[in-house]
Amino acid sequence: MNRVEFMETLSRLLQDIPEEDRIDALKYYNDYFDDAGSENEQNVIEELESPEKVAMKIKADREDTYQYYQEDTYGEEKDNKIYQDNGTYDYESQEKKPWTNKWLKLAMIIAIVVIGFPIVIPLGAGILALIAGIVIAVFCLFAAIVIGFAAVVMVGVVLFAAGIGSLFANPGVGLAVLGAGLMVIAIGVIGTVVGVRLCIIVFPGIVRGIVYILRKPFHRKAVA
């Protein structure tokens, strides 16, 4: 196989890629042969092995961003031309690593962390403090309700005791105070039970709501 046959076969194998990419690839390998010189044409063909292998490499490289068509080439910057004892030239290819966007992404992440650190940390601390304040305030509110109704129960107990003590001296007043004490005790007990039930139902719901709000941004990232 000579250069013309090699390039014709390669052109036929690249019919299924975009026209612009195919033209660029063919131009690249034509330059590849030109740089090596006609006297090294067979050496280049042996190095490339076959048009099929070159076509497979070109198609694979197209899938990678910033990937070069071929890692080895003849040229002043990429190859070393070595004179052999038999009077021929051998080309020592130097592998050139393709550029990828990994380092760019890493640099962007580092820059975002460095720039955003002084802002994110205080902001995050402020948000956590606000959430903690809300939770504590809600807890204190329910605790105050329960304690308040418990105090009402104690007042009812005192009135009930005072009513019993007044029954002998003044039965009418004693019965009134006794009835008022029982009523206050009932109100206090009902209020205490309702307050405890509200605390058991509402407080965990508030905590779950806060946790849901905090997890929502991370959940969206995971789904995306």
The number of residues in the chain equals: 224
Domain shared by 139 and 201, yes or no? yes
Domain shared by 110 and 217, yes or no? yes
**What is the tens place of the pLDDT at every residue in 19-70?**
888 888 888 888 878 877 777 778 888 887 888 888 888 877 776 634 444 4
Domain shared by 50 and 73, yes or no? yes
pLDDT tier at 217, thresholds 50, 70, 90: low
pLDDT of res. 187:
92
Domain shared by 157 and 187, yes or no? yes
pLDDT of res. 88:
44
Domain shared by 115 and 137, yes or no? yes
Q: Tell me what the pLDDT averaged over the chain comes to.
A: 75
Domain shared by 119 and 215, yes or no? yes
Last residue of a domain, one of 33, 63, 93: 93
pLDDT higher than threshold 70 for residue 194: yes
pLDDT tier at 101, thresholds 50, 70, 90: low
| 59's tokens | 């198609």
C-alpha count within 13 angstroms, C-beta hemisphere, residue 176? 3
Domain shared by 71 and 117, yes or no? no
Tokens 């080439």 correspond to 73
Q: Give yes or no for a contact between 61 and 82, defined as CB atoms under 8 angstroms apart.
A: no
Give 70-138 as a DSSP string: -S---STTTEEEEE-TTS-EEEEE---PPP-SHHHHHHHHHHHHHHHHHHHHHHHHHHHHHHHHHHHHH
Domain shared by 85 and 144, yes or no? no
Residue of 101, 82, 97, 103 whose CA lies nearest to 40:
82
pLDDT higher than threshold 80 for residue 71: no
pLDDT of res. 96:
44
Q: Give yes or no for a contact between 70 and 51, defined as CB atoms under 8 angstroms apart.
A: no
Domain shared by 87 and 170, yes or no? no
Q: Is this structure's pTM higher than 0.85?
A: no
| 198's tokens | 């509200």
Distances from the Cα of 38 to the Cαs of 2, 74, 87, in angstroms? Answer: 10, 13, 16
Domain shared by 107 and 89, yes or no? no
Domain shared by 161 and 78, yes or no? no
Q: Which domain holds residue 37?
A: 3-93
Percent over 90 (pLDDT), the chain: 4
pLDDT of res. 46:
81
pLDDT higher than threshold 70 for residue 127: yes
pLDDT tier at 112, thresholds 50, 70, 90: confident
Per-residue b/e over 129-146, b at no fewer than 16 CB within 10 Å? eeeeeeeeebeeebeebb
Domain shared by 121 and 214, yes or no? yes
Last residue of a domain, one of 69, 93, 117: 93
Last residue of a domain, one of 70, 93, 116: 93
**What is the tens place of the pLDDT at every residue in 142-167?**
888 889 888 988 998 998 888 888 88
Q: How many domains does the chain have?
A: 2
